[in-house]
Chains A and B, each alone.
Chain A
Amino acid sequence: MREITLSQAVNEAIAEEMRRDPTVFLMGEDVAEAGTPFKVLSGLVEEFGTDRVLDTPISEPGFVGLAVGAAMTGARPIVDLMFGDFIYLVMDQLCNQAAKQHYMSGGKLTVPMVLRTNIGATRRSAAQHSQSLQALVAHIPGVKVAMPSSAYEAKGLMKTAIRDNNPVVIFEDKLMYQDKAPVPEEEYLIPFGEAHIKREGSDITFIATSSMVQVAEKAAALLDAEGISAEVIDPRTIVPLDEATLLASVKKTSRAIVIDEGHQSYGVTAEIASRLNEKAFYHLDAPVLRMGAMDVPVPFSPALEDITVPTPEGVAANARKLCAGEMIHAA
């Protein structure tokens, strides 16, 4: 199968959906000729013109608000938010307006919009361009949240998101845009709420999102050599969450580590760990661990930044302890 980059996969998905459905359009800062700073959208304006690929002023609340209104009245906007950190700027439009319209109207209004943005530290971009804020959005009922872990997922999830009748936020890891993966030429969609078992194992389950899937897979490879068999699961969407697949795996292995690049406290890892605790307690032979980003603003210095995020070595070390029955974080 051919291999393409995650960036190309996103581009393909959007192009295919724009060809298929004339109500789909793209808007955001520097999305047209510039094709975004990451060049993810390059070439689209040439095919679809500036009527369907709209460069906006630097007004995040404004253009996200426009997308909400356009979506409520029959269009399917894809909004590009250049950095995930700018989510804070658009919270009212996303969480008070988009997320609640369907519910507040008793099901009569729908908001079929996609907000695509990014996450990921270790790009030396410091505290305001490096955050992974998916937990903030996932906390709000009414918004779906997808987190592709490779080019394959990026394309399939994007196409599903564009066809979904609810607001969907897609968080792409900005460090993965050039990562290649096999992506079929023929059309495919990845349904929301279906986790993917990336690697089967029997001793411990790693539940990982986005780029943390790679971290988990590397950790699993390290452990393999030591006779510890790790299963790696990618939920692919954290809202809706495929609880059944996660629970089945944890019931099988009886141990789990949840890995996500958002801050560890009150985060995605905490939510998933908590559900495993509630629903698989009597199948657990060890505490479920969370591994998120350190609870500090992302520092600039490489010496500091690199230690704030989960690493394969860190995941493997924790897995060894759990499998050996060592007490973690206990006196």
Chain B
Amino acid sequence: MTKTNTEDYLRMYTQMVRIRTFEDNANQLYLSAKMPGLTHMYSGEEAVAVGICEALTDDDRITSTHRGHGHCVAKGAEFKEMFCELLGKAEGYCRGKGGSMHIADQSHGNLGANAIVGGSMGIATGSALRAKLQGSDDVTVCFFGDGATAQGLWYEVMNMAALWNLPVIYACENNGYSEYTKTEEIAAGSITARAEAFGIESHQVDGQDVLAVNALTNKLVARARKGEGPFFLELMTYRYHGHHVGDINREYYRSKDEEKDWKENRDPIVRFRGYLVEQGIATEDEIEAINTAVEKDATDAVAYAEAAAYPDVSEVDMHVFSDIEHALA
């Protein structure tokens, strides 16, 4: 095991734990009625966001979804600004104007979560078009769920991406459920076959295996930079929570046994932790130290965000237009 790999592996582990910890805290904020609105938990899908984003640089862009906290963390965002955004505070990434479903952090290349299912497919493809037109070698990853494969927009933009060999990777997080409905009830045929119909190279990968996701993405990103894109990935994964935090009684669409099986036998963090210890990359103590540090980071960030100030009401008509300070003045 080389030193570089050790650092990469520990960072991947840390990032997955950061996502899980972020979501646990966000869930607590919702349950205790401290967070306005609602939110969609990424817990269970950590290996997807981390495996992919660890293959990207800050110059590479991603577009995210309503279930977007994981992408945001994996792309390098800070807890403090994220919790501030979730609580609608002025120091949030979007000054409290976006919230959970619109969190964006373009300093790390995150073009933002999107509350319209499939709504960012055009944006991601457009970002890749810009890269090609301007001769830059950055790659854009478009995250979306299995539910979004039912949106017509995807087929329009895949067509153009394939026609023009755009450096975009469509990453479908197939967690088996399209909101409250089994994916097999809403998706005919094979999802990878749809991308293949446009001549797009497609892969299905175990989304609970961070190393597998990362290894594949590394290869595809390198090829996309050389103009060999686009690519399609179907990442088989699972969401531990309901569609959103208020989706509590869900036995009418999936069984508790099924949830238990994924959590106990296929958890991406548990699996990777076991691998790190078994390979001698980290000791149990070192792992626990990571967990504790992340936990403290989250606790501190939540406390900071709870105490942080709301935006001044005068901000309500700011940022409607970039060149008009107050749109209603």
Whether chain A touches chain B in the assembled complex (some CB pair under 8 Å): yes
Interface residues of A (CB under 8 A from B): 23, 25, 51-52, 56-57, 59, 61-75, 77, 92-93, 96-97, 101-110, 141-142, 144, 164-166, 240
Q: Is B95 touching A107 in the complex (CB atoms < 8 A)?
A: yes
Residues on the B chain within 8 Å of A61, using CB: 122, 152-153, 156
CB distance from A99 to the nearest CB of B (A): 9
Given known contacts A92-B119, A165-B323, A69 and B96 CB-to-CB distance under 8 angstroms: no
For the complex, give the distance between the alpha carbons of A77 and B125 in Å.
14
CB pairs A–B below 8 angstroms (23 shown)? A56-B160, A57-B160, A62-B122, A62-B157, A63-B156, A63-B160, A65-B125, A67-B126, A69-B127, A69-B128, A69-B129, A73-B126, A75-B133, A93-B122, A104-B98, A105-B97, A105-B106, A106-B95, A107-B318, A109-B106, A141-B320, A142-B321, A165-B322
**Nearest Cβ distance between residue B90 and chain A, in whole angstroms?**
9
Cβ-based interface call for B66 (8 A): no
- Indicate the size class of the contact surface on chain B: 35 or more
Provide the residues of chain B in CB contact with A144, threshold 8 Å.
321
Q: Which A residues are in CB contact (< 8 Å) with B153?
A: 61-62, 65, 92
Name the B residues within 8 Å of A109 (CB-CB): 104, 106, 111-112
Q: Are B111 and A72 in contact (CB under 8 A)?
A: yes
- In angstroms, Cα B264 to Cα A158, docked, is 60
Q: Does B32 contact A (CB under 8 A)?
A: no
Whether B133 pairs with A25 at a CB distance below 8 angstroms is yes
A-B contact count (CB 8 A): 148
From A111, which residue of chain B is reached at the shortest CB distance? B322
* A71 to B, closest residue via Cβ: B126
Q: In the bound complex, what is the Cα–Cα distance between A68 and B152 (angstroms)?
A: 17
Does chain A have a CB within 8 A of B13? no
For B8-21 the 0/1 string (1 means CB < 8 A from A) is 00000000000000
Determine which residue in A71, A77, A103, A240 has the highest number of CB atoms from chain B within 10 A of its CB, and name it: A103
CA distance A29 to B170 in the complex (A): 24
Cβ B320 vs Cβ A23 within 8 A: no
Given A69-B123, A93-B122, A106-B95: A51 and B319 interface contact (C-beta under 8 Å): no
Q: Mark B89-124, 1 if CB is under 8 A from A, else 0.
A: 000111111100010101000011010100111111
> Is B122 within 8 A of A23, CB to CB?
no
Contact A51 B133 (CB under 8 A): yes
Does B4 lie at the interface of the complex (its beta carbon under 8 Å from any beta carbon of A)? Answer: no
A62 near B156 with CB under 8 A, answer: yes
Contact A66 B98 (CB under 8 A): no
Say whether, besides A62-B153, A106-B93, A110-B322, A70 and B98 are in contact (CB < 8 Å).
no
